[in-house]
Amino acid sequence: MNEAPRLIALVPCAGSGARAGAQRPKQYQPLAGRMLVQHTLAALAAVGRISRVLVVVAPDDATLDAQPGVEAAHCGGATRAESVFNGLVHLRASGAADTEWVLVHDAARCLVTPALVDALIDACLESDEGGLLALPLPDTLKVVQGGRAVRTMARDGKWLAQTPQMFRLGHLHAALQAHAAGGFAGITDEASAMELAGCQPLLVRGGALNLKVTYPEDFAVAQALLLARQQ
């Protein structure tokens, strides 16, 4: 009998957090008793089926070198897509097979729950297709020019992409490699590269609370939610 393909988590953690405006990269800000990224890593560790967690950090960043249960790869790039691509190159060089599944999950998305990750894994394994957590657009979408609304777009069929995003290692590596020479322009998530490669990733409903800490006010929201969960 064939063994089930392995599931690997790849966590891009090499950003500077410019929009968050904090003193240090947002993923290392203290939040509810530990660093923000440690909440993210704890949620992934609680998913029993994930066999390896690779955190992609900046080349000179030793913050997670001694973090139990994770492997820090010092190959972060200039963009999120480049960090993910470099992480995939690292996985392949260290013996991971192209048939293995990779779950790419933002370090900054510290409110993800094991249940959400499990739902994505179940859907992708059952359909044998790559996919992502996403949320139907809750608000009315405006097209803006010069600070004024010029048009309102139909909300139907529009979803907000979250992470994890789960694809076969070989497929995702090839899809991203096609954009390496162009500096990964326009590639803001894994699914966008897969779509351009002709795939139609599966959308699995995520949650409004699986937010990405991005702006200064997001820290307080994330902390309140994490503390509430610890009750």
Regarding 162 and contact with ligand CTP (CB under 6 A), the answer is: no
Name the H helices within the chain: 36-45, 80-93, 114-127, 169-177, 190-196, 216-230
- Retrieve residue 139's tokens: 């608000």
Give one DSSP letter per residue of 77-103, joined into a string.
Answer: -SSHHHHHHHHHHHHHHTT--TTSEEE
Cβ 219 to ligand CTP shortest distance, Å: 13
Q: Which stretch binds ligand CTP (CB under 6 A): 17-25, 66-74, 95-103, 110-118?
A: 17-25
Regarding 83 and contact with ligand CTP (CB under 6 A), the answer is: yes
Kindly identify the residues of this chain, within the stretch 95-154, that bind ligand CTP according to CB under 6 A.
106-108
**SS3 state at 210:** coil
Q: Name the residue among 15, 23, 29, 14 with its Cα closest to residue 218.
A: 29
Regarding 188 and contact with ligand CTP (CB under 6 A), the answer is: no
The whole-angstrom separation of Cα 2 and Cα 231 is: 43
**Closer to ligand CTP at the Cβ: 22 or 125?**
22
Cβ 52 to ligand CTP shortest distance, Å: 18
The whole-angstrom separation of Cα 69 and Cα 52 is: 8
Q: Which of 10, 73, 77, 130 binds ligand CTP (CB under 6 A)?
A: 77
Binding mask 198-227 for ligand CTP (x = CB under 6 A): --------------x-x-------------
Q: Name the residue among 83, 81, 80, 61 with its Cα closest to residue 72.
A: 61
**Closer to ligand CTP at the Cβ: 15 or 130?**
15
Which residues contact ligand CTP by CB under 6 A?
12-20, 27, 56, 76-80, 83, 106-108, 212, 214
